[in-house]
Amino acid sequence: MSTQLFGAGSRMPRIAEAAVERARLTVVPRARRRTPRVPFVALLSLLLVGGVAGLLLLNTTMQQTSFTATSLEARATSLEAQQQGLQMDVDSLRDPQRVALQARRMGMVPETTPAFIRLGDGAVLGKALPATGADAIRLNPLPTVKPKNLRSRTIRVIEKNPDVRGAASPDALTATGTKNSQNR
Amino acid sequence: MSQGSRPRPGTPRPQRRPAQRAGSSRRRVRARRGTSLLRLRVGFVLIAMVVSVFAARLFQLQGIDAQAYVAKARAEGVVTVTLPATRGSITDRNGVALADSVDGLMLVADPTVTAEHASRIATIIARRLHLDYFDLLSRLSKPGTHFQYLARRVPATRARAVVAAIERHGFKGIDTRRDPVRSYPAKDVAANILGFMNAENQAGEGAELMFDRRLAGRDGRATYEVGGGNRIPLGDTSTVQPHSGRNLELTIDRDVQWYTQRVLRQAVQGSRGLSGSAVVMDTHTGELLALADYPTFDANQPALSPKRDLGSRALRDVYEPGSVEKVLTASALIDAGKVTPNTKITVPSELPRGDRVIHDYFVHGKLHLTLTGVIAKSSNIGTVLAASQFSHRRLYDYLRAFGLGRRTGIGVHGETAGVLHDWRDWSQINQDTIAFGQGVAVNAVQMAAAVNAIANGGVYVSPSLVKGRATTSGGEVVGSATSTEHRVVSRRAARLTARMMEAVTNPETGTAGVAGVAGYRVAGKTGTAQRVGSKCHCYNGTFTVSFAGFAPADKPRFLVYVVVQDPKNGGGGGSIGGPAFHKIMSYLLEKYAVPPTGTKAPTPTIEW
């Protein structure tokens, strides 16, 4: 090996020998530094696991949200229905007919001669007359009259001979009794 | 180196070994090459065959009957639901709901499942929904069917509570379905105007029918994929949003309407009348604060009332207005300058006209009445004599201007135009009777609007029932915003007529002293007209009694008109309509805080 090198050196000027000797190039040995595999594999598996887990998580969350949405929607519907139900109750309580019946029960009658007090000077405008029962209006409809064939008929059974009140008469009595109570 | 197979000592082994190995594997490959190629080809063919099977299948699925499979897949997991549009509510002028839509459900049963525990299920339902136990029992145990209605239009909360209770007891076979409830909280109040929704949830009558297109809205639709009852996220979805119906606001005041209906009912029942109507109108705007009819119906249960009671008589029925019409004639005469309230008229006991003889409703000898007296006493003969100064055409034109013989266009289904024959067809007797309100037919709202023109200083305001504006299903735009006005008689003529009408409610001079409200100046006019029977189409001895009036007479705010058909207690417009008018008017004055004007009514001159 060294002979070969000297052979090459012989073609060079002797003066530069030292410099040549100094600048002699050698082949850099191939860097056989092996990149450590572990971090790369770890990164890859981390990415993979992370991705899968993330995807799973996302999916689960979305599914969960969907469950929540469904249940919230159901709740909204039922609350809305409840609100409407309560509104219906309020409306029926505010029904003027109901208010009027309540007022009548408290002994009130509508006023039919309106009069006002002018707050400025306390003057009474109109004729202030007390309301009386004559001013009341009928709040409920008149009871419907039953057709003649449905009206109850009172059947009087006159027992001529009270002595023979035997086995048959209690039946007859209960029969009329029931009829009367039904017809009332 | 002949025995190359034996390693020489001292020679590094690793140098030779690879060569040896390479040499042997090369030999092996060379040995196998033929079979491997074959295997490759066979393998390739196999794979190609499998792939072409896949391809064929793919083509079949995607190319040939793709739609069928799509539909199949849809049916599997895709749900389409109707998003129901909420029907608009109908409110009164203050926003109080008169008709409201509520989420509702119907209860249905599968009797094959429920029959076993029918009595216990029926007990639960009957108690909670106040239904008839025996009826439920027979439905729950009906043989040979899988479907029975138990209850319709139950508010959703109550229906769900019932089903939950039944399930808690461990019974099965009860289910719910959507069944929207249209609720009318005030029941019969304004039912004649509102109409109703029938069992199929279609508009049946009144405003519900007339403004159905506006109220109904448009149903939406949602399509989405479901899995286990939940919507699949990122799945195929498409939603068409529903368009809720628009609300309708009426000019009606619910409380006034209620009171008017009760007073009217009492007036009709008290006089044993056939039917009646009452109209309350805001003088200046023509808005109807109340439009009552009796008999009427409960809008929640229209099926319980006869069909003839389901509409508004005040707009559908025509009748001859009788003496109330005299004020129109009188104001027209004053406007034309033919008479004044003090014009002296000699009223004979009877008046032969052509082949007929005109009488007054009260027997009298020769009377010396002023025009005011004619109105106050409601003399037919006096009115005919005064009106004979008009030509047919003149009177006809005035009455047309008052809105007679023409639909008011108020926006109610089936409104009548009334009857006012063309003046060219009149004979003298026609003009004479029309002058006092016979031989001309009106509906109650028409007549109220006509008298209101006098209250409103001679300006006719077209009546309205809908606040703002709304388009009917027929495409007509109605409402208070479209209300029109036109002058019929001069302000002076209207004022003088109102003053004459005050004499009517004057207990000393008029026919309706009871109609007055203490402390207020009230103008009014009674009417008692012969009524045309439905069978013979002739005057059959029955009457139409009415009362129209407004207050305060010198600064009118409200007009009230009450009509009762065929009373059987012998009463007239004053004794039947008067008290009803008094009650309604005093209620209005109090409710709307209208103080008396403080002026004094001039003493009317009745006679000369």
Q: Could you report the per-residue pLDDT of B440-454, keeping only the tens digit for each?
A: 999 999 999 999 999
Under the banding of pLDDT at 50, 70 and 90, the label for residue B534 is: confident
Phi, psi at A29, each rounded to 5°: -60, 140
B295: closest chain A residue by CA: A141
Cα–Cα separations (whole angstroms), residue B470 to A38, B182, B467, B482, B565:
79, 21, 8, 9, 32
Q: Is the ipTM of this complex over 0.85?
A: no
Q: A177: how many CB neighbours lie within 10 A of its CB?
A: 10
Least confident of B55-59, B411-415, B580-584: B411-415
pLDDT at B2: 42
Best mutation site among A59, A61, A83, A84 for testing chain B: the one with the most B CBs within 10 Å?
A84
Separation between Cα atoms, residue A118 and residue A130, nearest integer Å: 19
Is the pLDDT confidence value at A69 over 80?
yes
Average confidence (pLDDT) over B299-316: 88
Is the pLDDT confidence value at A180 over 50?
no
Peptide bond into B552 cis (omega under 30): yes
pLDDT at A80: 85
A88, A125, A137 member nearest B596 (Cβ): A125
Q: Do A97 and B229 touch (CB under 8 A)?
A: no
Structural domain that includes position A65: 42-94
Least confident of B135-144, B204-213, B338-347, B508-517: B508-517
Q: Do B519 and A139 touch (CB under 8 A)?
A: no
Percent of chain B clearing pLDDT 70 (strictly above): 92
Residue B543 to chain A, least CA–CA distance (Å): 23
Where helices occur in chain A by DSSP H, the ranges are: 2-10, 17-23, 37-93, 96-105, 168-183
Average confidence (pLDDT) over B190-200: 89
Least confident of A167-176, B94-103, B343-352, B487-496: A167-176
Average confidence (pLDDT) over A117-144: 85
Q: Which residues of B446-462 are buried (b: 16+ CB within 10 A; e: fewer)?
A: bbbbbbbbbbbbbbbbb
pLDDT at B79: 77
Pairing type for strands B104-109 and B148-155 reads antiparallel
Is the pLDDT confidence value at A126 over 90?
no
Is the pLDDT confidence value at B487 over 90?
yes
Is the pLDDT confidence value at B78 over 80?
no
B103: closest chain A residue by CA: A81
Residue B175 to chain A, least CA–CA distance (Å): 16
Give the residue range(s) of CATH 3.90.1310.10 domains in chain B: 69-103+180-250
Separation between Cα atoms, residue B291 and residue B313, nearest integer Å: 10
Least confident of A163-167, B201-205, B238-242: A163-167
Average confidence (pLDDT) over B114-118: 86
DSSP at A140: S
Best mutation site among B102, B289, B517 for testing chain A: the one with the most A CBs within 10 Å?
B102
Q: What is the average pLDDT value for chain A, to the nearest integer?
A: 77
CATH fold group of domain B69-103+180-250: Penicillin-binding protein 2a (Domain 2) (3.90.1310)
pLDDT at B198: 85
A54 assigned to some structural domain: yes
The 10s digit of each residue's pLDDT in B545-583 is 999 999 899 999 999 999 999 999 888 888 999 999 999
Average confidence (pLDDT) over B149-160: 85
Separation between Cα atoms, residue B328 and residue B493, nearest integer Å: 10
pLDDT at A170: 44
Separation between Cα atoms, residue A170 and residue A166, nearest integer Å: 8
Cα–Cα separations (whole angstroms), residue B524 to B181, B379, B458, B559, B570:
44, 15, 16, 9, 21
Separation between Cα atoms, residue B525 and residue B546, nearest integer Å: 8
Structure-model confidence comparison of residues A35 and A170, the more confident one: A35
Is the pLDDT confidence value at B464 over 70?
yes
Separation between Cα atoms, residue B422 and residue B431, nearest integer Å: 11
Percent of chain B clearing pLDDT 90 (strictly above): 44
Least confident of A100-114, B11-25, B310-324, B480-494: B11-25
B 505-534 residues inside an 8 A Cβ radius of A: 517-520
Taken in order B480, B486, B489, B493, is the CA torsion positive or negative? positive
Separation between Cα atoms, residue B384 and residue B395, nearest integer Å: 12
Is the pLDDT confidence value at B6 over 70?
no
CATH 3.30.70.2110 fits B104-179, yes or no: yes
Least confident of A139-143, B70-74, B152-156, B311-315: B70-74
Under the banding of pLDDT at 50, 70 and 90, the label for residue A58 is: very high
pLDDT at B605: 85
Phi, psi at B441, each rounded to 5°: -125, 145
Cα–Cα separations (whole angstroms), residue B374 to B189, B341, B351, B381, B439:
38, 9, 15, 8, 20
A52 assigned to some structural domain: yes
Best mutation site among B520, B555, B585 for testing chain A: the one with the most A CBs within 10 Å?
B520
- Counting the structural domains of chain A, the total is 1
Let me know: does B310 contact B298? Beta carbons within 8 Å: no
Angle at B470 between CA B464 and CA B471, to 5 degrees: 115
Least confident of A18-32, B193-207, B241-255, B342-356: A18-32
Angle at A72 between CA A90 and CA B216, to 5 degrees: 55
Let me know: does A155 contact B282? Beta carbons within 8 Å: no
Is the pLDDT confidence value at A60 over 60?
yes
Average confidence (pLDDT) over B71-88: 78
pLDDT at A1: 44
Q: What is the average pLDDT value for chain B, to the nearest integer?
A: 87
Cα–Cα separations (whole angstroms), residue B128 to B102, B156, B157, B164, B496:
19, 13, 12, 12, 64
Q: Do A84 and B155 touch (CB under 8 A)?
A: yes
Residue A90 to chain B, least CA–CA distance (Å): 9
Let me know: does B522 contact B514? Beta carbons within 8 Å: no
What are A87's two structure tokens? Answer: 């509104």
Is the pLDDT confidence value at B224 over 90?
no
pLDDT at A178: 41
List Cβ neighbours of A159 (8 Å cut-off, separation of 6 or more).
Answer: A165, A169
A163 assigned to some structural domain: no
pTM for this predicted structure: 0.78
List Cβ neighbours of A3 (8 Å cut-off, separation of 6 or more).
Answer: none
Is the pLDDT confidence value at B15 over 50?
no
Most confident of B14-23, B111-120, B522-531: B522-531
E strands in B371-522: 459-461, 470-471, 477-478, 485-487
**Amino acid at site B549:** G
Under the banding of pLDDT at 50, 70 and 90, the label for residue A163 is: low
Query: 3-state class of B99 per DSSP?
Result: strand
Give the residue range(s) of CATH 3.40.710.10 domains in chain B: 254-298+312-591
Separation between Cα atoms, residue A57 and residue A46, nearest integer Å: 15
pLDDT at B7: 45
Q: Do B587 and A80 touch (CB under 8 A)?
A: no
Query: 3-state class of B89 per DSSP?
Result: coil
Separation between Cα atoms, residue B381 and residue B372, nearest integer Å: 14
Let me know: does B344 contact B608? Beta carbons within 8 Å: yes
Least confident of B216-230, B294-308, B373-387: B216-230
Is the pLDDT confidence value at A138 over 80?
yes
Let me know: does A83 contact B105? Beta carbons within 8 Å: no
**Amino acid at site B604:** P
Nearest to B206 by CA among B283, B276, B291, B268: B291
Is the pLDDT confidence value at B13 over 70?
no
Nearest to B438 by CA among B326, B603, B303: B326
The correct CATH number of B254-298+312-591 out of 3.20.20.10, 3.40.710.10, 3.40.50.1220, 3.30.2350.10 is 3.40.710.10
